[in-house]
Structure 1
């Protein structure tokens, strides 16, 4: 049976794009107290609406698209594999604030997700690697991160999040 051409049927593509019943898990939280310092792992953090994570050095303008950065937990092993490392890369080395497992984060671009009971983030775009990945991961670090750099998000609704919290895709119209 040939593979159907979904490009001609926008309703089918829209239905497929909206089908994300999985529930993810918040695996790690990190903040940088000062610029260029290592991230500090936290068991929980206050998420400040339309701003940043409490304790993070970033001071974001309201409405900014890069208030929080996220990376997929499953990509920690992939990046390590590209570098020939025997163990997954430690989350703090990749300089992202939140590590989420169980959801394909790239499928969430332009969608909203809920972390725990309170926090809502709007996924705004990809978080491409920077040249610092060469310093942190060694030669090839930048290229190992390409396609695995994670996403950026805007904080729609603040509150407290904890490692282990559920991460759910918000239905259209929710927030």
Structure 2
């Protein structure tokens, strides 16, 4: 994982540099971009009640983007707008996988309630996004 200050997000490739966002011919993309709330990550770590766990950075979750101060939609079809142009449609919950327990035992269960593991989406409109950009829920 690599923490970036800005990145291009496109309908053709998802988050620049993440091969999982590329659209395969004949397939409808559902998992191009993963987003997690900083508050949900912190709640999961608090639930672990372990000083070492509190030091885990958000990107340990392996999410593409971390947002703060906004509650991400908990339903498919919602639209998240980031910066001036980028729009992402929520397609599903990002269920935590067993890799989370490899990072810290119990993390998978701590990320499970209330979509704490984040959301997955497909890019509707390309955009260059950066740390500090405005994040809005359009519907």
TM over 0.5: yes
Q: Among 56, 74, 77, which residue is 1:110 paired with?
A: 77
Mapping 1:104-143, distance limit 5 Å: 104-107=71-74, 109-137=76-104, 139-143=105-109
Q: Among 32, 40, 47, which residue is 2:9 paired with?
A: 47
The whole-number CA distance in structure 2 between the counterparts of 1:60 and 1:158 is 14
Where does the alignment leave 5 or more consecutive residues of structure 1 unmatched? 1-38
Mapping 1:1-175, distance limit 5 Å: 39-58=1-20, 59-61=22-24, 63-86=28-51, 87=54, 89-107=56-74, 109-137=76-104, 139-147=105-113, 148-170=116-138
The whole-number CA distance in structure 1 between the counterparts of 2:69 and 2:78 is 16
The whole-number CA distance in structure 2 between the counterparts of 1:101 and 1:67 is 20
- Give the number of the structure whose alpha-carbon radius of gyration is greater: 1
Where does the alignment leave 5 or more consecutive residues of structure 2 unmatched? none
- Give the TM-score of the pair, scaled to structure 1: 0.70
- Give the TM-score of the pair, scaled to structure 2: 0.86
The count of residues paired between Structure 1 and Structure 2 equals 132
